[in-house]
């Protein structure tokens, strides 16, 4: 086995963290031959629960798990980290406005960015899952001046996977035959799930589904899928979120398979009418540990308007958190 790879997870005793830690320790992120040290980070009140998680990890006797570090100190949690999953975030409490949520989380993610800058590997890949994920990624990256902003991203992969699954179900094909799906913009209700470029079993998705569905029910179903899971399960999606986080990081590190693309929120470069200076979800291809936005797609007016709307929301979020950048 090669030297142990350091994988840090914040909010590690939470719902998503609980799924993520075991799957990563079992080799599902980097392969079974790669030794892993898990660096699990929690806030002080959750440390007892985190000790329980560490005990269960030990009890799994995973071949590839070298060590578990459980801590409420970010400096220790992020020390030498190669891969970082920023999952823990303050949830919206009763009577809290969205702007309050932004400000509370901006404080958390600005400090995390600064500590990553000092203690993580300078080439660490950082994935932000905790909401508002796009703006939290922007804040963390802007507080880590020695790290390349390209090494930060926010998760829209669960939305991407949900969109693929909805299109597969609608067309009666297996989800593995769906390619070139895109989530544009913010991981929020303004996200734009776009099947206009997608194919199903090699055929254009637009030739297989009605335009009204593609522009209506398809989009709202993907946007509201999280709420539907909460209604059914009584608690928010965690296994599918952890699965998406692993797929996001794995493809980033090892490449997108088969010439397909995936959706990742990365630093906006103005392409397709998106704003610069925010983290915006685009279609991306990954290779050799890096990503590139897919170029040259022909987008209709409907798509351009959706991209404009979600981009405006991200600019508003950035303005609300500007003090901490």
77 is a contact residue toward ligand NDP (CB under 6 A): no
Give the three-state DSSP class for 108: helix
Kindly state the smallest distance separating residue 108's Cβ from ligand NDP, in Å.
4
> How many residues form the binding site for ligand NDP (CB under 6 A)?
25
Rounded CA gap, 230 and 208, in Å? 30
**Residue 183 to residue 162: CA distance in whole angstroms:** 10
The residue range among 126-134, 139-147, 163-171, 201-209 that interacts with ligand NDP, by the rule CB under 6 A, is: 126-134
Stretches 176-184, 232-240, 279-287, 292-300: which one binds ligand NDP (CB under 6 A)? 232-240
What sign does the CA torsion over 32, 34, 35, 40 have?
negative
Measured between alpha carbons, how far is 7 from 52 in angstroms, rounded to an integer? 19
Of 90, 173, 179, 254, the one binding ligand NDP by CB under 6 A? 90
User: What is the layout of strands, in order, in the sheet containing 178-179?
Assistant: 178-179, 199-200, 203-204
Closest CA to 151 of 264, 4, 307: 264
Using rule CB under 6 A, residue 266 touches ligand NDP: no
State the minimum distance, in angstroms, from the CB of residue 279 to ligand NDP. 14
187 is annotated as an active-site residue: yes
Of 191, 192, 163, the closest CA to residue 178 belongs to 163
The CB-of-280 to ligand NDP minimum distance in angstroms stands at 17
Smallest gap from Cβ 298 to ligand NDP, in A, equals 30
Q: How far apart are CA 74 and CA 41, in angstroms?
A: 7
Nearer to ligand NDP, 29 or 265 (CB): 265
Q: Where in the chain does DSSP place strands (E)?
A: 2-10, 34-41, 65-71, 83-86, 125-128, 152-154, 178-179, 182-184, 192-194, 199-200, 203-204, 262-269, 276-287, 290-293
**CB contact at 8 A, 128 and 152:** yes
Q: Which of 119, 187, 248, 254 is catalytic?
A: 187
Site string for ligand NDP, 55-74 (x = CB under 6 A): --------------------
Helix segments in 61-132, DSSP class H: 74-78, 98-119
Q: Which of 226, 267, 283, 311 binds ligand NDP (CB under 6 A)?
A: 226
CB of 48 to ligand NDP, least distance (A): 11
Contact call for residue 185 and ligand NDP (CB under 6 A)? no
Q: Is 241 in the site for ligand NDP (CB under 6 A)?
A: yes
**Listed ranges 114-122, 123-131, 270-278, 303-311: which one lies at the site for ligand NDP (CB under 6 A):** 123-131
Q: Is residue 10 involved in binding ligand NDP (CB under 6 A)?
A: yes
Residues that bind ligand NDP (CB under 6 A): 10-11, 13-17, 42-43, 46, 87-91, 108, 129-131, 158, 226, 236-238, 241
Q: Which residues are marked as active site?
A: 187
């Amino acid at each position: 086995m090669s030297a142990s790879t350091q994988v840090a997870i914040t909010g590690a005793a939470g719902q998503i963290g609980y799924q993520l830690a075991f799957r990563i320790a079992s080799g599902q992120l980097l392969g079974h031959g790669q030794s892993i040290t898990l660096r699990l980070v929690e806030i002080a009140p959750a440390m007892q629960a985190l000790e329980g998680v560490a005990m269960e990890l030990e009890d799994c006797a995973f071949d590839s798990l070298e060590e578990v570090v459980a801590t409420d100190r970010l400096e220790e949690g992020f020390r030498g980290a190669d891969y970082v999953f920023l999952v823990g975030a303050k949830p919206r409490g009763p009577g809290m406005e969205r702007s309050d949520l932004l400000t509370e989380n901006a404080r958390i993610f600005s400090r995390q960015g600064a500590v990553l800058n000092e203690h993580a590997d300078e080439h660490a890949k950082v994935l932000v899952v905790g909401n508002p994920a796009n703006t939290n990624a922007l804040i963390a990256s802007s507080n880590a001046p020695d790290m390349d902003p390209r090494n930060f991203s926010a998760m829209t992969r669960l939305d991407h996977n949900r969109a693929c699954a909805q299109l597969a179900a609608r067309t009666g094909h297996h989800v593995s035959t769906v390619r070139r799906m895109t989530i544009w913009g913010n991981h929020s209700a303004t996200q734009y799930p776009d099947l206009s470029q997608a194919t199903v079993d090699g055929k254009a998705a637009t030739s297989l589904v009605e335009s009204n569905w593609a522009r209506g029910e398809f989009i709202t179903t993907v946007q509201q899928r999280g709420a539907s899971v909460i209604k059914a399960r009584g608690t928010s999606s965690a296994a599918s979120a952890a699965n998406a986080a692993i797929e996001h990081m794995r493809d980033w590190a090892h490449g997108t398979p088969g010439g397909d693309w995936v959706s990742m929120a990365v630093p906006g470069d103005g392409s397709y009418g998106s704003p610069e200076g925010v983290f915006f979800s685009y279609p991306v291809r990954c290779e050799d540990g890096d990503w590139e936005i897919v170029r040259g797609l022909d987008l209709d007016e409907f798509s351009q308007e959706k991209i404009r709307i979600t981009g405006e929301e991200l600019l508003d979020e950035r303005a609300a958190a500007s003090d901490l950048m």
